[in-house]
Amino acid sequence: MLDGRQRAGTMGEVLDVKGPFVVAPFGETLAELAAERPEIVGLTADMGRYSDILPFARAFPDRYFNVGMAEQDLISIAAGLASTGKIAYCTTYAAFVTRRALDFITIGCAHGRANVKIIAGMPGLVNPYGATHQATDDLSITRLIPDLTVIDPCDATELSQVIRAIADVEGTVYVRNLRGKVPVTLDPDVHRFELGRAKVLAAGSDVGIVSCGFPTARALDVAARAAADGIACGVLHVATVKPFDREAVCEFAAGVERLVVLENHQRSGGLATLVVEALYDAGVQVPLERLGIHERFNECGSQDFIERQHGLDLAGVLRAVMGEGGGDTVAAGSKTDIGGKG
C-alpha cells in the first residue's frame, strides 16, 4: 500500500487519490490467486495495459490470451475455456463488452452458467472520452440477465476481495473494475466482502446514503462533514447489485428520515431503481432522492467537470444530504415512486 496523490483520470483511472492506494489491485490479486488455482486463465480484448491484467500476464504467459479488439470473440473464447474446466477472467471496457457482446454474455455465458468472470473497466464517469467510452447504463443491462452476478466494488480493498471471492461463485460474474492507483477506503483488516450482502459503514438516523462502487468513499466523506453540522448521516454500501440485498436496504431505510441514493450510473435502471422497487414491495415509505448520471450522452471532459454537471461532486452530494436538493426526489414506498423523473 502506498501514499500519494494522483490527478489523471485517463483510461479509466480514478481521478483523485488522496492518501493510501494500491496499484493495479485486479491484476496483482489475480496473479496471486492464479498461483493457488492452476485452472485460472486470463483474457483481454487488446486492453491488457488499460485493464491492469498485465501482472497476471507476466506471471503466467502461457495462461494469458489477447484476442485482439474483438469483444464477441473475448466472451466466446472465455466461455469455451470455461467448458473445459477453466475459470476464465476476461477484461475490456464496460461500454464495449455490454454493447458489442451482450448476446454472447447472455447466451454463451449466463444461460449455460459458464465459469466466466467479466472484469469491466471504465464504468460510469471515470474517463473523459464521452459517450463512446462511458458505460453509464451497464448496471441496468447486466442486472436483468438471468443467472448473472453483478458487483460494483468500492475500493482497492474490496476489489481484491471480490477477485478472490468470485472464483468460487458458480457461473458468470460481471465486476466493475477500478484500475491504476486505486484508493484504499475500507480497512483491509476489518472489511470483508460478502456476496449478496450490503454493509452499513456509518450509522445515522437523520438521513441515509445508499451507494455502490467508488461513490461510497464520497458518501463516507459527506457523512463526516454532515456530522460536523449536526446531521447524523448513515451510509449503506451495496457492493453486490445482483443478487440484491433487499432486506438490508429496507431495514436501513426504516431507520432514517430520508434517503439519498448515490451511484456512478444513470439514475434510472441501476441502484436507485432497485432501492425504490425494494421499498415499494416492502411498503417502506421514506422520501428518497436519486443522485446519478442524467439520461443523456455526455460531452468529453474531465471527471470533476462532468461530475459537477450531474451533481455528483462532493458539494452536490453534500447539498442533497443537507436537504438542499440536487437530484430527483420520489416518495419511496408509495405508488408514485415508479416512473419518476428520468
pLDDT tens-digit profile of 107-132?
999 999 999 999 999 999 888 888 88
Do 154 and 266 reside in the same domain of the chain?
no
pLDDT digits (tens, 9 = 90+) for 205-237: 999 999 999 999 999 999 999 999 999 999 999
> Alpha carbon 283 to chain centroid distance?
27
Q: Which residues have C-beta within 8 Å of that of residue 74, sequence separation ≥ 6? A: 43, 44, 45, 67, 90, 92, 97, 101
Report, as an integer, the average pLDDT of 305-317: 90
Strands 258-266 and 240-242: unpaired
Do 280 and 242 reside in the same domain of the chain?
yes
8 Å CB contact between 126 and 135: no
pLDDT digits (tens, 9 = 90+) for 11-48: 555 555 678 999 999 999 999 999 999 999 999 999 99
Give start and end residues of each alpha helix (H) in 24-107. Answer: 25-36, 48-51, 54-59, 71-82, 94-100, 102-103
189 assigned to some structural domain: no
114 assigned to some structural domain: yes
Q: How is residue 187 written as a grid cell?
A: 480497512
117 assigned to some structural domain: yes
Cross-strand partners of 286: 332
Q: Is the pLDDT of residue 8 over 80?
A: no
The span from the CA of 257 to the CA of 235, in Å, is 13
Do 174 and 287 reside in the same domain of the chain?
no
Overall pTM surpassing 0.85 (yes/no): yes
34 assigned to some structural domain: yes
The least confident of 13-22, 59-68, 120-129, 308-317 is 13-22
Structural domain boundaries enclosing 81: 2-183
Domain final residue, candidates 124, 157, 183? 183
Q: Is the pLDDT of residue 90 over 50?
A: yes
116 assigned to some structural domain: yes
DSSP 137-168: SHHHHHTTSTTEEEE---SHHHHHHHHHHGGG
* Total domains present in the chain: 2
Domain final residue, candidates 133, 156, 183? 183
The span from the CA of 279 to the CA of 334, in Å, is 9
How does the average pLDDT of the chain come out, rounded?
90
| DSSP conformation class of 189 | T
Q: List the CATH number of the domain containing 312.
A: 3.40.50.920
User: Cell numbers 458489442 label which residue?
Assistant: 100
Do 217 and 158 reside in the same domain of the chain?
no
Q: How far is CA 48 from CA 27, 126, 130, 162, 169, in A?
A: 10, 18, 22, 20, 24
